């Protein structure tokens, strides 16, 4: 079948991209660098032409691996990276000042072996710096030819509209899946109104929306799911597992895996939605890629919407520290759980 591409700015990309965090950190030790490069090369070979990385992933190593593995194929892919969340002397820091953003971009260009980044996001809001100032720095980078489009990550509608008033925002990245429905509060519609792509990260629920689902008992001690994401804790995880029953039922009807179903559901939520699942496995890369061919009926989407109603997920999506770093909208029951 002929697949319709999706658009970021004036560029067309395959409907499902590749998140490049997992290859260097977050869910356990980095994979072997040769394997990581092979995974990146295979992504391009099968037509996955949207790669999404960040300065903070592996403290710059994710960007370096992309540059080393794919620098000679730069015309074959749409490249996104992020700033504001950075690293200095091996430590994370948050700096949305114009000077820091421009310095971070220069460093990313070096690591990525390129002279232009297609999409450059503010990775997190910096509460010390008005978003208009940070967006203005990104606009300067567009004028200087260092980046092509500007983006935001983990921000709500207010900051999206404020940044957009400075320079068109080509993409807003937000966690969006059957398990995390927060974009539906405001930014899903706001993005559609503004012509902004909604880039959905963790669309497979950090491995929960799979069959079998991720097993917290097998997580590496360094896996962030042990620390930052309460839904994987002993207190909440067992209560979430029954949600998968309906997902398996609909996946069987659609002739796909549960992970593919999760991706197909995000694609069904709007032509401006682009999921970017991450993986370290070639088999999962190809499984995710082919999810773009899965067609769900409106009735199946409605059933999944109802079964995965936001209030049915057990536990908050972030711990208190993680929630404090984002400005994405929350449901009232979530605010109550966080004491807000």
pLDDT tens column, 125-177 = 999 999 999 999 999 999 999 999 999 999 999 999 999 999 999 999 999 99
What pLDDT is recorded for position 2?
60
Per-residue pLDDT of 97-131, as tens digits, reads: 999 999 999 999 999 999 999 999 999 999 999 99
What pLDDT is recorded for position 338?
75
Q: Peptide bond before 274: cis, by omega within 30 degrees of 0?
A: no
What pLDDT is recorded for position 93?
87
Six token digits for residue 292? 């773009």
Helices and strands: H and E segment counts in the chain: 13, 12
Catalytic-residue membership of 57: yes
Of 92, 145, 153, 82, nearest to 112 (Cα)? 82
What pLDDT is recorded for position 340?
60
Sorted by where each begins, the domain ranges of the chain are: 6-207+260-295
In the CATH hierarchy, which top-level class contains the domain 6-207+260-295?
A: alpha beta
Active-site residue identified among 14, 27, 57, 176:
57
What pLDDT is recorded for position 1?
52
Q: Which residues does the chain have with pLDDT short of 50?
A: none
Q: Peptide bond before 212: cis, by omega within 30 degrees of 0?
A: yes
DSSP 8-state class, residue 140: H
What pLDDT is recorded for position 134?
98
pTM, two decimals, is 0.96
């Amino acid at each position: 079948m002929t697949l319709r591409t999706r658009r970021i700015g004036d560029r067309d990309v395959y409907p499902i991209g590749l998140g490049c965090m997992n290859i260097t950190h977050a869910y356990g030790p980095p994979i072997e660098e040769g394997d990581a490069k092979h995974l990146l090369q295979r992504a391009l070979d099968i037509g996955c032409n949207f790669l999404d990385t960040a300065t903070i992933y592996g403290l710059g190593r994710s960007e370096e691996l992309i540059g080393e593995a794919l620098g000679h194929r730069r015309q074959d892919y749409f490249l996104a990276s992020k700033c504001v969340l950075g690293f200095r002397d091996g430590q994370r820091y948050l700096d949305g000042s114009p000077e820091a953003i421009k310095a971070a971009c220069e460093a990313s260009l070096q690591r990525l072996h390129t002279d232009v980044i297609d999409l450059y996001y503010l990775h997190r809001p910096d509460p010390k710096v008005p978003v208009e100032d940070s967006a203005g720095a990104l606009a300067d980078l567009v004028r200087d030819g260092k980046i092509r489009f500007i983006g935001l990550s983990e921000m709500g509608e207010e900051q999206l509209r404020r940044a957009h008033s400075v320079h068109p925002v080509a993409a807003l990245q937000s966690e969006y899946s059957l398990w995390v429905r927060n974009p539906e509060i405001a930014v899903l519609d706001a993005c559609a109104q503004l012509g902004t792509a909604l880039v959905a990260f963790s669309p497979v629920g950090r491995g929960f929306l799979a069959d079998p689902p991720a097993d917290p008992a097998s997580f590496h001690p360094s896996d962030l799911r042990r620390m930052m994401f309460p839904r994987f804790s002993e207190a909440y995880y067992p209560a979430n597992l029954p949600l998968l029953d309906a997902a398996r039922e609909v996946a069987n009807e659609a002739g796909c895996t549960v992970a593919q179903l999760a991706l197909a559901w995000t694609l069904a939520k709007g032509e401006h939605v682009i999921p970017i699942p991450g993986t370290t496995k070639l088999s999962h890369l190809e499984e995710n890629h082919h999810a773009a061919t899965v067609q769900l009926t409106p009735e199946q989407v409605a059933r999944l919407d109802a079964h995965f109603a936001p209030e049915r997920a057990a536990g908050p999506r972030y711990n208190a520290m993680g929630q404090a770093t984002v400005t994405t909208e929350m449901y009232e029951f979530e605010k109550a759980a966080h004491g807000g």
